[in-house]
Amino acid sequence: LLPEYTRREILFMAGQEKIVHLEDLILRRTIMALLGQLSLELLVELADLLAPALEWSEQRTREEIDRTLRIMEREHGVKLAE
Tell me, what's the pLDDT at 82?
58
Average per-residue pLDDT for the chain: 93
Distance between CA atoms of residues 7 and 78, nearest Å: 25
One pLDDT digit (tens) per residue for the chain, 82 residues: 777 899 999 999 999 999 999 999 999 999 998 888 899 999 999 999 999 999 999 999 999 999 999 999 999 999 987 5
Contacts of 37 (CB under 8 A, 6+ apart): 2
pLDDT of residue 1: 77
Residue 36 pLDDT: 87
Type of residue numbered 43 = L
Q: What is the pLDDT of residue 3?
A: 79
